[in-house]
Structure 1
Amino acid sequence: MTSTSVIQPALDIAAIRSQFPILHREVKGKPLVYFDNAATAQKPQVVIDALVNYYSHYNANIHRGIHTLAEEATAGFEATRDAFRHFVNARHREEIIITKGTTESINLVAYTWARQQLQAGDEVIISGMEHHSNIVPWQIICAEKQASLKVIPVDDNGELVLEEYYKLLTPRTKLVSVVHVSNALGTVNPVKDIISAAHNAGAKVFIDGAQSAVHLDIDVQELDCDFFACSVHKLYGPTGVGMLYGKKELLAEMPVFLGGGEMIKEVSFEQTTYADLPYKYEAGTPNIADTVATAAALNYVQEIGKANIRAHEDELLQHATSRLLTIDGLTIIGRAKEKTSLISFVIDGIHPQDVGILLDNRGIAVRTGHHCAQPLMARFKIPGTIRASFAVYNTLEEVDALLAGLQHAVKLLR
């Protein structure tokens, strides 16, 4: 089973910050305040060291050599698969597919399972708060197979309207694919209820865990989801690495995704036979170095403890919420009862991009725009938001710096 997080009396945030080299730099003459963690988190020295150590001591291609470096590189790569298995409590290590990230994981399932299973008239359900990566692949496959794409509506608080979701489920529903935590709102969706209802209707469920994996304990067996995906760069790890979890019986029946080396057993001009799981879906030379370093990132998160991370981030979120609401004309977009550590907002009469530029001049990094969630922005009738997203290394003092920066921006722009 996955380890249970235990909340410590208090995290030593100063000690944690000292482990992230980039936090010691300045931007435009100001100390960096990094509030763009929902886009990508910064990397602790232990992850950087693991990456450098790989290239310095055992860089080699994997699974294909008997020499020492190849064996060491293979062992490091497969150790990350085992770390992923533990991280999400998968039953079998063969259920963990190493990918480039959540986007590739979703596309893998769309172009294999969905392309094989969907027929004309079938239905796929997504939600109104999905990232484009969990919209576009299903649109493509539904158009190809003449299936229908249905959308769970979002209410004014930024929560899914579950009563409408239950009405959308029909015997024609083949897949429900929803985000666990909204990257644009911070909403934590009740995925266990969503999964149970879908299974009762005979549908499979894909959970986009890109934003949830770093904040919430993930137990795919307890959730009983059919597929789960996440990206490592939001988990204090390298870019270009992700994970797809799939139930073993589903992965075994799915057709191959990419053809090439590693994903085969035997190749002749007459016929090719494919490798067993998980290698069936890992064609070509992967991102070995960053995958090896991923184990250090996963271990780092677990050593701190997700409950401790979540408690600290919740404190930051509550502080930010109360302080930002003192700014005249500021409206928070997304007021769900269950949220993780990000806050999206707009300020009357001021374009989000202008605010972002002025904050950057003070060394404060936030994300502005539609956050790859244009249908959600349309639902709220706005072009985009200013999004501040928090991590374990952020401080209350940095939140206060954000408030001061916003007050300064409002004075200049109004």
Structure 2
Amino acid sequence: MSKKGIRPKSPRNLLFVFEILALLLLFVYEGDKIDRLTLGTGIGLVIIIYLSNYILTKISYGDNYIFLIVTMLISIGIVMIYRIDSSLGIKQLIWLSIGIFLFFLTYFILKYIRGWKNFIYLYIIASYILFFITFVFGSRKGGAINWVSFGGIAFQPAEITKLLVIFILASYYSDTSRWKELKYGPYYLMGIIYSFILLLFLQRDLGTALVFYGIFIMIQFIYEEDRKLVLYNIGLFAIGGILGYTLFDHVKIRFQAWLNPWKYIERQGYQITQSLFAIAEGGFFGRGLGLGYPDFIPVVYTDFIFSAICEEMGVFTGIGIIMLFMILVYRGFKIAISQESLFYKILALGISILFGIQSFIILGGVLKMIPLTGLTLPFVSYGGSSILSSFIALGVLQICSEEIKIKEEFDEQRD
């Protein structure tokens, strides 16, 4: 590797070829229905993704492969979304463009503004403000109060709160000396995190609560010196799971549908059974783009996009998506392990855990490994809030990887 860092020119060109082939398949499916809008959408997708990868290699000496992995996931997702609903495909392209802009904006902000580990109180206050906005202005969807709409644009404040939780944990564990002066410092942190989880319970957004808990327990397991706190959290998790099942009817319904969806195939088991049918129908190589029946699955473009992809593009493509997420998480862990700054190390670890947990939860639900939750598959599913927050998280991970390269260059010059 050169001193100028990773220059993934060949993978970028391969991605360009993949984009062209995917769009050709989409145009074959559209046939004589191709219009200027469809053609413009396809060309716009190729230009946006290729140029963003090219620009990143020019401005960043970090791990540019993580962005390549993400753009591959986006390419698969947006082609499938456009096939399901062309209007949603165009909207997704717009969200993608905004997301890439926020990725670069996050990168530059973190690169040129320092001292982020000192703003823990700001992260905590901002999190509570977002929860307050959700309770006051939020609307209920799928049994949970997690959507806020302003001016016709709906978003989920919890998507930003997930990132703030990672910053809170990174700030705390990267400067434990300040907190050791407090007699119950670790318990204050637990109280803050569990107050977030309690608020999510009140919103009935248990999927996001599970993500919060997963990030917290994993980072605590690695960095907490008082090991009994980890055991306390495991016990509290068991109690929370039981309470969630007891108090919320929609949790009971999803749990019952997970245990035996065939018994409830006409009602609460309909989604998961149709998902399994779609994956089985696709076989290894898929029925072909436009030859499946993704509309049989409710909200297929968000929660069940993976099933639609497997039906029309094959189980091999589904395995490819899983492997891309595994590589993304692996490279995130590699960045965290190699990072010298403890704050950026924990940030990289937390974001990698976020991507890993969220993808596992939704893929596990679609494949009937675990009960379904209302989460989206990062970078693949349709959704503005998810796309934007995921790109912001990726921007943070990008700057974490660049810190490594700066450290390596300094060591080489010193030697």
The TM-score, its normalising length taken from structure 1, stands at 0.30
More strand by share: 1
The TM-score, its normalising length taken from structure 2, stands at 0.30
